[in-house]
Structure 1
Amino acid sequence: MDNEEDLESLGEKLYDRVSLNHADMAPKLTGMLLELPGAVISQMLQDEALLSKALEKALAALHHDTSKSPSQEDDVDSVSLDSLGEQLYELINLYDTGYTQKITGMLLEQEKKVVHQLLSDPVLLEEKVNMALKTLQGASCTQGQGETDVSDISDQDEVEVIGEKLFALVQEIEPVHCADITGMLLEMDLGKLHQILSDRTMLVFAVQRAKSARENALNQAQPDTH
């Protein structure tokens, strides 16, 4: 590996920072964080808030692994997809792709067991994020000039900002399914998104419609047990 020396240097610096507050778990936590791309690690070393957020996620993952009993292994379906979406969003956001909301939505279309695996396997997550990123960038490049789409690269920064604002607002109205509903609302065109961000009544109405559509879809997908 060409960058082995750089990674070792980053690892030493990261270990020193982690051991300040988590001396007992520093080796384990440092190893988990070193699974992230080098650029992200460098950014964490310069940004205390980003490092703290990454450490919180690593500690939560460790706690989840140590507290989980074998019987819970088969209980994957009982975990809220919305909860998984929030965890996945936070991890993908660390990669700073500019497509966090879109990539999260794409990866959440997989089975819950696969999503669980992504949350616990940083290498697999990075691979899936890169694949999704290539797909989105490819779609942006092949779009026609006359048509504006949510994933258009010229609007992508704006969409990302809107997605973050929208997520926070939707969370206040419908905290249980905010990730799913935000993803559904982001399918609207930019003009409509700006409208619902500036008009609380329109936003509440849009959230209720999305919630109803989500529930109808789930009911239709529910297998008949009788």
Structure 2
Amino acid sequence: MARRGGSISTMALGLALATATPDQVRTVLGERLHPLVQNLEPAAAARVTGMLLELDRTEVLHLLESPEALKSRVAEAMEVLISAACTPLGTAVGTGKARRGGSTSRRPISMRTLLRSALANATPDQERTILGERLYPLVEKLEPAAAAKVTGMLLELGRTEILHLLESPVALTSMVAQAIGVLRNSAQQRQDQTGGAKSRSIGHHCH
């Protein structure tokens, strides 16, 4: 009976959210989800809750109703947080079953979800730092000598495009090549201007 009551409660919540704005939905679900996550992972409750709120509304409602599903998702989110520093962006960190090659119908929480969660409340400077820390090592592998300059150029792009570059090696390679082309053209122009100035100076002395 308790389970049925929980289902009715969740159903009522779903109906109440039907007319809510996206911000209201996130707030309401977050208020219900956070204390449950806090019981499982007190130290990382805020970050894990933020990650889980990136899931579909239907799945979040399911997590509120199913302690087992919530426990599994929280464990998965913790794996992502722990491995964030060493896992390439775009690589999903799934459950043990998924890593062993078994089939699973659940979508793993991706590094993109983690990064979006981290950027959600970041200031412009913090956002630039977070994205730069992710982007620089990838650029460095392609153009070690100009990694800092190229990364700075790419950080001028919009957040969505930068996230795409972090996930797509092909797009990143293409954009880095374009940036290198711009740098080389700029260097060539400066060299031509310097050469022209020297020529004019020599011509002046000859007269």
TM-score by length of 1: 0.34
Flag the structure with larger Rg.
Answer: 2
TM-score by length of 2: 0.37
